[in-house]
Amino acid sequence: MKIVIKLLSAFLLIALLIGGLSIFGINIINRDIIEIVERENPKVQASLELEINIHEMADAVSDYSREEKEETIIRFKDSQKDFKRFMDIYLSKIRSNEEEELIGELARKQDSMRILGEEIIETKKRVNVWLKKIVLNAREIENILENKLSSPPLNDPQHRAEKTEISLKMEIDIGHIFFSIEEYINDPKNDLISRIKKEETKFEAEEARYRRLPLSAEERKWLDIVDKDYKEIKKLAGELIQFERQQRRDMATFETILQEADNLLDDQIQVVAMDKIAEDERRALFNTTLVMAAIFLSVMLSVVVGYFISIPITDPIIKLRDAANQVGRGDLNVKIDINSKDEVGELAESFNIMLQEIKKLKEGLEQTIEELTETLNDKMAEMERFNNLAIGRELKMIELKKEIKQLKEKLERDEDI
C-alpha cells in the first residue's frame, strides 16, 4: 500500500506541475488572443468604417451638387453620425499617444469636410433658388416680348416690322442667356461665361435699339419691366457664376481634405492599428513558444522527478532479483540490506528470513546426509567383511571337496590292487 501511495504521490506531483504550467500558459495565450479580438480587431474595423463614412459623406455632397434631393442630405447627416459612433469605438480602444494624435487629426479633417460640405449644400440650394428666379424672370421677359412688344399698335406701321424683329431677337437672346447659365451650372466652363457676356451684350444692344424707336406709354412700361427683369437676371447670373466658382473651390478643397483623410487612414491610422495587431500576435506567439518550452521543461523535469522517485522503488527490487539469482546458483550466504519501511522492505526482510531457514534446512540436510553416508559406509564395510568371509568358506569347501575326491580315487585304486 505504501508503494501505491508513493506512486500516486509522484503522479499527482507530475500532474500538478504539468497542469499548473498548462493552465498558466493557456491563460496567457487566452489573454493575448482576447486582447487582439477585443481591442485591436475592433480598432481596425472601426478605422475601415471611418474611411467608408468619410467617402459616404463625400459622395453625398457630390451627389447633391449634381442633383438636389432631400435623401442626399439625410445620407450626409447619417454618415456624420456613423463617423462619430465609430470614432468613439476607436477612441475607447486607444492605448498610445501616437494613435490619439492621429485620430484627433482625422477628427479635425472630418470636421473641416463637414463644414465645407454644409457650405456646398447651402450654396447649391441658393443656386437652385436663384436659377428658379432666373427662369421666372426669363419667362416673364419672353411673355412680354412675345405678347406685348412683338405686336406694336397698328397706328405705327412704319416701325411695326422693326419692333417685331427686335423683340424676336431679344426673345432669342434671353433664351440663349438662360440656357447658357443652366449649362454653366451643370458643366462650368470659361467659354460659357464668354457666351453669356456675348448674349447679354446682344440683348442690351437690341433693347437700346428698341428704345430709340418711337414708343407708346404702354410699350415703354412693358420695356421697363423687361429691363428690370433682365437686370435681375444679369445680377443673379453674375452671383451664380461667383457662387459656382466658390463652390468649385470648396469642392476642390473638400476633395483635397478627403484625400488627406483617406491617406491618413490608409497610411497611418490603419498601419498603426495593424502594427499593434502584429505586435500582439508576435507577443502571443512568443508567449505560446514560452509556454510550450515551459511545458516541455516541465515534462523533462517530471521525467527526472519520476526517475528519482522510482529509484527507491526499483533499487530494492533489483537487489531482490540479484539475490534470487545468487540463491538460484546455490549461494545461500546472501543478505539483502534494504531499510525501506514499505512493502519492498517487508519483502526483503521476509526474503532474508527465508534464506536463513533454507540455510538451516540445508545444513541439517547435509548433516543428515553425512550421518547416513557414514552409516552406509559402515554397513558396506560390514557386508564386505561378511562377503569376504563367505567367499573364504566357499573356497575351503571347494578345496575340501577336491581333497575328498582325491582320497576317494586313491582308496578305489588301493582296493583294486
Q: Are 164 and 150 in contact (CB under 8 A)?
A: yes
pLDDT at 113 over 50: yes
Q: For 56-102, write each residue's pLDDT tens digit.
A: 988 988 888 777 788 888 998 899 899 889 888 888 887 778 888 88
pLDDT score recorded for residue 181: 82
pLDDT score recorded for residue 209: 92
69 φ, ψ to 5°? -135, 140
C-alpha cell recorded at residue 70: 432631400
pLDDT score recorded for residue 21: 55
Pseudo-torsion of CA 24, 29, 31, 32, nearest 10°? 150
Q: For 333-360, write each residue's pLDDT tens digit.
A: 666 666 666 666 666 677 667 767 776 7
For cell 473638400, name the residue: 254
355 CB-near residues (< 8 Å, 6+ apart):
323, 327, 332, 334, 335
Q: Which residue has the higher pLDDT, 220 or 381?
A: 220
Instruction: Return the domain boundaries, the chain.
Output: 2-293
Q: Which residue in 127, 46, 57 sits closest to 93, CA to CA?
A: 46
Q: Are 268 and 72 in contact (CB under 8 A)?
A: no
Q: For 18-58, write each residue's pLDDT tens digit.
A: 666 556 555 555 555 555 445 567 878 888 888 898 889 88
Give me the mean pLDDT over the 382-393 stretch.
70
Length of the chain: 417
Give me the mean pLDDT over the 229-258 stretch.
87
Strands (DSSP E) along 31-138, which ranges? none
pLDDT at 387 over 80: no
pLDDT score recorded for residue 225: 93
For cell 516541465, name the residue: 298
The helix (run of H) or strand (run of E) holding residue 76 is helix 70-93
Fold of domain 2-293: Methane Monooxygenase Hydroxylase; Chain G, domain 1 (1.20.58)
pLDDT score recorded for residue 213: 87
- Average pLDDT of the chain is 78
pLDDT score recorded for residue 276: 65
Euclidean distance between CA atoms 158 and 161, whole angstroms: 7
Pseudo-torsion of CA 87, 88, 90, 96, nearest 10°? 110
pLDDT at 194 over 80: yes
pLDDT score recorded for residue 7: 54
